[in-house]
Copies of this chain bind each other. A is one copy, B any other.
Amino acid sequence: MSDAPLRQRSRRGAGRPTIADVAKRAGVGAITVSRALREPDRVSIELRKQIASAVEELGYVPDSNARALASARADVIGVLIPSLTNNVFAEVVSGIYDGLGDSNLQVLLGDTHYSGMEEERLLRVFLGQRPSALIVSGVDQTPGARAILEAASCPVVQIMELGEDPIDMMVGFSHFDSGRAVTRHMIEVGYREVAFIGARMDPRSQRRLAGYKAAMTEAGLSDPRLITTSTQPSSVTFGREMFREAIARVPTLDAVFCNNDDIALGVLFECNRAALGVPDKIGIAGFNDLEMMKVAYPSITSVRTYRHQIGRRAIDMARAAMAGERPETRVVDVGFKLEIRESTQRGA
């Protein structure tokens, strides 16, 4: 009973069965268990059964850290989005998760809060996990982030936007084109003083604004006083406030292209409250086509964006690349669709 110093380490390996325990119980070598779990075809049926029941009896769960260390890659995909609470990105993420299927891939989700610095920091943290792929939002990475991504030894997908110069792969649509399309539509149906209202002017919003400006200019209607922007986060409340500001500045404005649907909703509520008839007195268009736009009263014209599909395509492309397939098309344009509704149906 003289205390021979226990060489066991207290905290380590406490409890959980290891692959060696399973191997012993099944009467096979550890490596065979490993294979039975990862490449069952290479193990005979009898052993597979024995191993399966040993796994079951012991409640064995493979340690993914050890697996990642031994095989120099983790079944982890890093995803960076600017905001978790923005419904638009939530739907993209949902598409990504749906594309996971029953693979045992894990998603590491990072919220950059629209900050390039934070994006860089998270990228570094993610890389510490040796991810199998990375999905990032937008095309305007900081030089540092871009360097990290270019040096990353895994597939990279940029989502939401398109650009000239993909790091690796890309899924998105043209914000410029969609902004221009909405604006042209409003001009076509007869609105003349079409305002632009935008909060949180991130790069995608800037490109939509550029599309708006292009359409206004080509119609000879451009007027900088019609543009109201802010770097504050977007909200329905803030949409209402910005609209009040806009109409105080230009009382004759007759339509508003809102940078997103939240703002459009705020404008609609304010028009209802102030008894400004929509669409006759004021036309309204939003962006993203949230589900409620078609139910609103009046229903609101918006630009349908395929957010779920963007996430889904991104993960599909990433998984294909992980499997060694290099698709010929590395840039996928999922497009957009202008949904014309009551809010811009100007009575003739």
Contacts and interface: CB of A to CB of B under 8 A. Distances in A.
Interface of A: 4, 7-15, 61-66, 68-69, 71-74, 84-85, 87, 90-91, 93-94, 97, 104, 106-109, 111, 124-125, 127-130, 153-155, 168, 235-237, 240, 262, 265-266, 269-270, 272-273, 291-292, 294-297, 321, 324, 326, 330
Number of this chain's copies in the assembly equals 2
Contacts of A240: 295
Given A62-B128, A236-B295, A269-B295, 10 more contacts: A7-B321, A8-B324, A9-B73, A14-B72, A63-B69, A64-B129, A85-B94, A107-B109, A266-B295, A269-B297
A122 to B, nearest CB: 10
Contacts of A63: 69, 128, 130
B236 A291 contact: yes
A250 B153 CA distance: 63
A65 B130 contact: yes
Contact of A326 (B4, B65, B109, B155): B4
Nearest to A241: B295
Given A94-B111, A130-B63, A236-B295, A72 B269 contact: no
Contacts of A94: 84-85, 111
Nearest to A91: B85
27 contacts: A7-B154, A7-B155, A8-B324, A9-B153, A10-B153, A12-B72, A14-B72, A62-B128, A63-B69, A63-B130, A64-B129, A65-B66, A65-B129, A84-B94, A84-B97, A85-B90, A85-B91, A87-B87, A90-B90, A94-B111, A104-B125, A235-B292, A236-B291, A237-B291, A237-B292, A262-B292, A265-B295
Nearest to A97: B111
A69 B66 contact: yes
B7 A295 contact: no
A109 B111 contact: no
Contact of A7 (B68, B106, B153, B262): B153
Contacts of A97: 84, 111
A61 B121 CA distance: 11
A291 B235 CA distance: 8
Contacts of A12: 72
A105 B125 CA distance: 9
A13 B72 contact: yes
A261 to B, nearest CB: 10
